[in-house]
Amino acid sequence: MGNNLLKTSDTVLFVDDEEYILNAICRIFDDNCIRVLKADNASDALDLFKKEEIAVVISDNQMPGMKGIDFLAQVKTISPDTLKILMTAYVDITVAVDAINKGEVFRFITKPWDDNALIQTVEDAVERYRIIQSLKKNDEGTLLSLAQTIELKDPYTRGHCERVAQYSLLMGEAMGLSEEAGRDLRYGSWLHDCGKIGVPESILNKNGPLDPEEFEIIKNHPRWGADVVGHAKLPDTVIKIILHHHEKYDGSGYPAGLKGTDIPLEARIVTVADVFDALTSDRPYRKGYTREKAVGIISSMRSTILDAGIVDIFLHLLKDQKELS
């Protein structure tokens, strides 16, 4: 992580009523810099939250006394920034997916687990915890550093957040938006993809089209990102940019299916910038389009995917502004 980021807790708590499982998990993390705590019941685990700053908690679901999903609900109340991971048997997957969709847990892991997948999931969760704590500093150096760190998960998007911010700010200036709105555009542009910290790199960097299940995971990133930034108490406009940058003007986007001017103005601006930069950038499955080809594609999206008025402003800027070349 960047030099501007706060030093935060790397403590992870595992909760399972089977001692041999706890011991097996602890062995997996012997060579990892993450500090591991363990508890064999929910009551003892909750007591640990009174004494420790815990970044991530991983709980089995089927435990005597209190189910994991109920235990994690209590954790959400007493330590809202702690990332919650549910460990389930295959029969519980529906419960786990429902909990993710409701925002109650960050991810789930199935038993028997894959060691590498477990380590990656825990490391992703610790990194997300660091991001939330660092975002609370709310200074530009930290926010940009965070955006650049998140981009490292996907080498094809390096520099993407800064370019989106550049395009968005020029559009905002052309539209006469206030200085405060410009600041929100900058922060929202930098952080619009911060929810991708919860997306496995195997999906982000897949060399080909995503299958429906993978696309559903990708579609969660605006909500995840908005949740992270909401925890950090950043301005509401920034949260809305992150949440709604994949909405489409005709209402066919996600996550809320907003239509037309129901989509916040700043999100509509960032969407135009985001789409243009995505079109002109290389991706694992295709080379970036030429500027001329991208202009044609952007123009064809007027009033369907993108706000026609904002597209027209952007295309005018493309003609007039050398810095957009």
70-102 tens-digit pLDDT: 899 899 999 988 999 988 876 567 776 777 766
**Whole-angstrom distance, CA of residue 2 vs CA of residue 238:** 22
> pLDDT tens, 144-201?
877 777 776 666 567 889 999 999 999 999 999 999 999 999 999 999 998 887 787 7
Distances (CA, A) of 128 to 146, 184, 232: 10, 21, 12
pLDDT for residue 323: 52
Task: Tell me what percent of the residues of the chain surpass a pLDDT of 90.
Answer: 53
Return the minimum-mean-pLDDT range out of 119-133, 196-210, 244-258. Answer: 196-210
> Which of the pair, 114 or 153, is modelled with greater confidence?
114
* Closest-CA residue to 189 (of 275, 93, 103): 275
23 has pLDDT over 80: yes
pLDDT for residue 325: 53
Confidence of residue 279 (pLDDT cuts 50, 70, 90): very high
299 has pLDDT over 60: yes
pLDDT for residue 1: 39
pLDDT for residue 3: 38
Are 244 and 235 in contact, with CB atoms under 8 Å apart? no
**What integer is the mean pLDDT of 6-21?**
83
> pLDDT tens, 136-156?
776 788 788 777 777 766 665
pLDDT for residue 104: 74
pTM to 2 decimals? 0.70
Are 136 and 232 in contact, with CB atoms under 8 Å apart? yes
As a 3-state breakdown, the chain gives helix, strand, coil percent values, each rounded to 5, of 55, 10, 35
Domains along the sequence of the chain with CATH: 11-133 (3.40.50.2300), 139-324 (1.10.3210.10)
Q: What rounded mean pLDDT belongs to the chain?
A: 87
Task: Tell me what percent of the residues of the chain surpass a pLDDT of 70.
Answer: 90
> Which of the pair, 65 or 322, is modelled with greater confidence?
65
pLDDT for residue 156: 59
Angle of CA points 22, 24, 29, to nearest 5°: 95
Confidence of residue 254 (pLDDT cuts 50, 70, 90): very high
Strand-by-strand arrangement of the 107-110 sheet = 35-39, 11-15, 56-60, 83-88, 107-110
